[in-house]
């Protein structure tokens, strides 16, 4: 089975632009979470979605939003990009009642 996949692998954007990152969970996994990992730091929780509903939200501004589709894939959107949004964005998927998260390789976002 394929693992969690994320696209694109790398992305360069300019301040003020908007970006959309994509994640496909492991087949059979209905929950997707998003994390931001700034260089030299641990991942910070952004969102968790289950069955297309937001189940959890971290301490991020409203510029960050996400959604989950009927096939359980997910998108993370960030508006009005700031230099500080430069980071590795990780997606993780789990089964319905499991806390064991499987992480994708991430999308490296650079904001210039």
Partner 1 sequence: AQSVTQPDIHITVSEGASLELRCNYSYGATPYLFWYVQSPGQGLQLLLKYFSGDTLVQGIKGFEAEFKRSQSSFNLRKPSVHWSDAAEYFCAVGSITGNQFYFGTGTSLTVIP
Q: What is the binding site for partner 1 (CB under 8 A)?
A: 4, 31, 33, 35, 40-45, 48, 55-56, 58, 90, 92, 94, 97-106
48, 49, 53, 55 alpha-carbon torsion, rounded to 10°: -30
Tell me how crowded residue 80 is: count the other CB atoms within 10 A of its CB: 12
Collect all residues with Cβ–Cβ distance below 8 Å to 73 and sequence separation of at least 6. 22, 23, 24, 25, 32
Of residues 42 and 70, the one with the C-beta less far from partner 1:
42
Q: How far is the CB of 73 from partner 1 (least distance, A)?
A: 17
Of residues 43 and 76, the one with the C-beta less far from partner 1:
43
Q: How far is the CB of 39 from partner 1 (least distance, A)?
A: 11
Whether residue 93 contacts residue 107, with contact meaning beta carbons closer than 8 Å, is answered with no
Of residues 44 and 79, the one with the C-beta less far from partner 1:
44
Q: How far is the CB of 48 from partner 1 (least distance, A)?
A: 5
Of residues 35 and 72, the one with the C-beta less far from partner 1:
35
- What is the token pair recorded at 99? 């806390």
């Amino acid at each position: 089975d394929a693992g969690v996949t994320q696209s694109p692998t790398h992305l360069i954007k300019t301040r003020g632009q908007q970006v959309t990152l994509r994640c496909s969970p492991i087949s059979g996994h209905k929950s997707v979470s998003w994390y931001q990992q700034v260089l030299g730091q641990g991942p910070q929780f952004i969102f968790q979605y289950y069955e297309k509903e937001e189940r959890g939200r971290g301490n991020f501004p409203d510029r960050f939003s996400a959604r989950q589709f009927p096939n359980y894939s997910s998108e993370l959107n960030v508006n009005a990009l700031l230099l500080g949004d430069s980071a590795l964005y990780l997606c993780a998927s789990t089964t319905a009642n499991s806390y064991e998260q499987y992480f994708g390789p991430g999308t490296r976002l650079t904001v210039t």
